[in-house]
Structure 1
Amino acid sequence: MAWSYTSVLVEATSYPIIVSWTSQPTNHTLVSKLQQPTIPSSSERPQSHRRPSDLGREAHADQSVTILHAKVAQKSYGNEKRFFCPPPCVYITGHGWKCNKSHTHAVCVSRQQMFACAKTLFISDQDKRKHFCLLLRLFLNNRQEVGSFQSRMIKVISKPSQKRQSMKNADPNFIFLHLQVIRKVNKQHAILDVDEPVSQLHKCAFQFRDNPHAYLCLTNDAIIQYQAPFSVRDPSKVVLNDGSCWTIIGVEVVEFTFNQGLACITTPVSPFPVVTGLEVNGGGHVAMLEIHGENFTPHLKVWFGNGEAETMYKSPKSLLCVVPDVSVFSDGWRCLRRVITVPLSLVRLDGLIYRTSYSFTYTPELQPPPLSNNPKNTSHLI
């Protein structure tokens, strides 16, 4: 796969985290340095003698890697370079990140967010594939590998589609803005007399309905209203600046959250298990939970909250576990008759905790099962 990579340097302290963007079939890399949080004093350093169930299961000890990238990438032809728009970005968050200095591990408590951006990635016309993934390799300052994290599938296109598209937003979350009119943009000019839908990778401008001369503009990380003048040659167009021209594109967000607790784990966290679905079989005292996903290994155990469940490895895409009795989480649950929800996690044998976005809910039965009047055909579980 033909790529072009350029080094990008972000402000770094003496303890940087190094990010390497790669494409799996190639050895080229894009290296970015991220600002590393400070190390607490020796009196604040924790000890590593606690049980796996106590190893930093609190949310403040989590470590998260978030990758944001576009769903499509436009191919470059000849000597041109069509950089990925928006460029792939990575955010490193969480208070559980550890620094390695003089062979002593210490939990970082800085709230500062670390960020890197690959602004000069493009795909050449020599590559004939229709889809690809980005592979992010993360290292500590001592070249110790944190792990490899894969993006979602990216579609390669030759040029923006000219087809009209109609898409409804199914996301229940909304951001309320001023009432605006979408204007199609052609060569830094907004066309006022054209009323047609815009598609992915099309350039557009957002005109304020209550102020027709004002357009939504991004300048120095601030949103302003840009007063666009009319074109001298064509009064049906207005001249826009770079900050007023927007590109419509779908994006993907992939988040990987793990927790090392107080264990001194030096092996990479990858392959990172990803849970995609749950399936409950049976009920009562014999309920089984099948977990569907990717990158499962025999060294993973399913945890309900802070309790380990008996886990059976079926395949790299399936784990089976026994649902623990609800009394493990609440002794008086059967009397209180209330709903209990516990988070689901995957824990490696060395104590590394993989967070999931799934949880398990114990719901009490509204009524006890009816008893039969004929004792001959009944069996009782005592």
Structure 2
Amino acid sequence: MATAAAAMASSIHQPLSRVPVGPPPLLSIGHALMNKPTPPYPVMDLSVRQNDRRLTKEAMRQYLRDRPDTTVVIMTAKVAQKSYGNEKRFFCPPPLLYLMGDGWKHRLQPVVMAGEAENEAQPYAFIGIGSAEQEMQQMNLEGKNWAVAKTLFISDTDKRKAFELKVKLFYGTGDDVGMFCSKKIKVISKPSKKKQSLKNAELCIPSGSRVALFNRLRSQTVSTRYLHVESGNFHASSQEWGAFTIHLLEEPQSESEHFKVRDGYIHYGSCVKLVCCVTGMALPRLVIRKVDKQMSQLTADDPVSQLHKCCFHLKDSDRMYLCVSQERIIQFQATECPKDSTKEILNDGAAWTIISTDQAEYSFYEGMGPVKGPVTPVPIVDSLQLNGGGDVAMLELNGENFTYNLKVWFGDVEAETMFRCAESMLCVVPDISAFRGGWRWFRQPTQVPLTLVRHDGVIFATGLTFTYTPELGPHPPTMEEAIMSNPIRPIPEDTPNTFPTNHYPDLEQL
């Protein structure tokens, strides 16, 4: 007999697949939805396109083999400044949309094979702040698989203390992909210039969290450049920004690919490590310092807060700071302040603004071909709980956006599923014999992926796996705890406190 336990799933961050997108022929969402033609897909038989096409075992096997997910990623800052009167404080860094995975190409292939215009199957995106006061803005996906929303703002007439961005996606045919939400964004009036305390912890920056860094020469918005990693190099991008995990380092320790981190909030004067969330590339050890009047404050030790001006001194160097020089990231040597030994004089390129970031990620695949209506809401599984064991084991799924028409699948086996509410589902764990012939003599654990499948064949990856553990004795083994892993983070925050990173490139010295 076998008992079951859910085990942690590993998630590999795949490189972005470049999806060529033609010029947007649609002027508005309203225009697209009002003029919704029937798409010509000669390869896919859309004559049987209907609301209820149950996923077959063969279709699931093909999906598990190829993993052609269609993924939507929305990257945002965690806070946004409110605009007053007629001013427009555009969100900085601006929200980024990425369309990843092979699923987008799968939609394109039938159209190309039929000789039709590619823009018939190209995705189009609109973004808004979820308010009737502002129309949604079209995002430019032309020729690439990402887009940036540079002109979003929230006015003082909007009384919300927090909000979510809404991204509306549909194909050139007018077919609705769905509405996707960002993570919550907190509204602030302006960055605090007072000395911060941990009493207002939601504006402080904890070790292991994600941040973005940007630089503005002479405080001009048009000159904004963001720290970013591309082609294995750190650079200052005017278009894309990168999310970096900021770690407090245990001291003392020397420079190494492996480093020990500690918990707590980031304070000025702390030694930190910045690691790219996508590539794993890291900068050398840095000491974060406060910037005031274009000077590095060597004695400041208060908590770092959202949208603070800061600088990064290269640990154990002679006044060398991380600096922007056009598109390059270089080392800049600060000048000693002749009037105050606790300060060092910087140039504009060495002063950075720091802000916490977040990311919402949604994956789906139309397992039985294109479906009628949107794929949203996309269900998200946050945690698993195994109940019972032996012959009768139940798995409880907790998360969000659950609906009555979802079924839990263990590998290519559909499980009996019970819908409780939008945050909870329960299913019967299939017997091990469904996956492993001769299981009575098998002594190795059997791991299967967990997915959610909608009634019309849409597959939602959870990023989780379930492990069947064989019985090693005459009595059933103790039930193991279900373990959930976060598939979005390339460097999970709950991993052990020693991190390997890729080699960082040598920074040029000015």
TM over 0.5: yes
Structure 2 equivalent of residue 58 of structure 1: 65
The residue type paired with residue 22 of structure 2 is S
- In the other structure, the counterpart of 1:238 is 345
What is the CA–CA distance in structure 2 between the aligned matches of 1:52 and 1:294, rounded to whole Å? Answer: 26
Change in CA separation of 1:326 and 1:177 when aligned onto 2, cut-off 3 Å: same
Distance 1:52 1:17 in 2: 34
In structure 1, the partner of 2:156 is: 125
Q: 1:376 maps to which residue?
A: none
Q: How does 1:317-332 map to 2 (within 5 A)?
A: 317-332=423-438
CA deviation string 1:235-271 (max 9, x = no partner): 8442322x43222222111111111235132421111
The 1:207–1:364 alpha-carbon spacing in structure 2 relative to 1, beyond 3 Å, is: same
Report the TM-score when normalising by structure 2: 0.58
* Contact map agreement 2:442 2:470 (CA 8 A) in 1: no
SS class of match (1:337): coil
Aligned to 2:103: 96
Distance 2:411 2:28 in 1: 34
Q: What's the CA shift string for 1:152-178, capped at 9, x where partnerless?
A: 211112223432347652579973432
Partner of 2:475: 369
Is the counterpart of residue 276 in structure 1 residue 382 in structure 2? yes
Q: Does 1:307 align with 2:413?
A: yes
Distance 1:55 1:18, change over 3 A: farther
* Deviation of 1:46 (Å): 7.3
**Cα distance between partner residues in 2 of 1:16 and 1:120:** 19
Q: Secondary structure at the match of 1:327?
A: helix
TM-score (ref. length: structure 1): 0.75
Task: Give the one of 197, 206, 214 matched to 1:164.
Answer: 197
Measured in 2, the distance between the counterparts of 1:233 and 1:78 equals 41
> What one-letter code is carried by the residue in structure 2 that aligns with 1:80?
E
Task: State the secondary structure of the residue aligned to 2:174.
Answer: coil
Counterpart CA distance in 1 for 2:299 and 2:427 is 62
Give the aligned partner of residue 265 of structure 1. 371
Return the letter of the residue paired with 2:68.
Answer: A
From the CA coordinates, give the structure whose radius of gyration is larger: 1
Partner of 2:361: 255
Q: Is the alpha carbon distance of 1:183 and 1:303 closer, same or farther for their aligned partners in structure 2, counting shifts above 3 Å? A: same
Q: Is the 8 A contact 2:368 2:457 kept in 1?
A: no
Q: Supply the distance in 1 between the matched residues of 2:288 and 2:362 (Cα, whole angstroms).
A: 35
In structure 2, relative to structure 1, the CA distance for the partners of 1:338 and 1:55 (3 Å cut) is: closer
SS state at 1:91 partner? strand
Q: Separation in 1 of the partners of 2:467 and 2:326?
A: 46
State which drifts further: 360-369 or 125-134: 360-369
Aligned counterpart, 1:298: 404
What is the total number of aligned residue pairs between the two structures? 335
AA in 1 matched with 2:91 = F
Structure 1: state its 5+ residue gaps.
1-10, 22-26, 28-41, 371-382
Give the Cα–Cα distance (whole angstroms) in 2 for the partners of residues 20 and 135 of structure 1: 15
Asked if the contact 1:164/1:199 (under 8 Å) is kept, the reply is: no
CA drift of 1:47 comes to: 7.8
Q: Counterparts in 2 of 1:174-193, with a 5 A limit?
A: 175=275, 176-192=282-298
Pair 1:150-2:178 in alignment: no
Q: Are 1:62 and 1:258, in contact at CA under 8 Å, matched by a contact in 2?
A: yes
- Give the aligned residue type for 1:182: I
1:18-48: per-residue Cα shift (whole Å, max 9, x none)?
Answer: 9999xxxxx9xxxxxxxxxxxxxx9xx6789
- Counterpart amino acid of 1:67? I
User: What percent identity do the matched residue pairs reach?
Assistant: 47
Give 1 or 2: higher helix fraction: 2
Distance 1:19 1:60 in 2: 33
Q: Which moved more, 1:249-258 or 1:48-57?
A: 48-57
Aligned partner of 1:78 among 82, 85, 94: 85
d(CA) in 2 for partners of 1:18, 1:177: 43
CA contact (8 A) 1:76 1:124 kept: yes
How far apart in 1 are the matches of 2:293 and 2:152?
A: 24
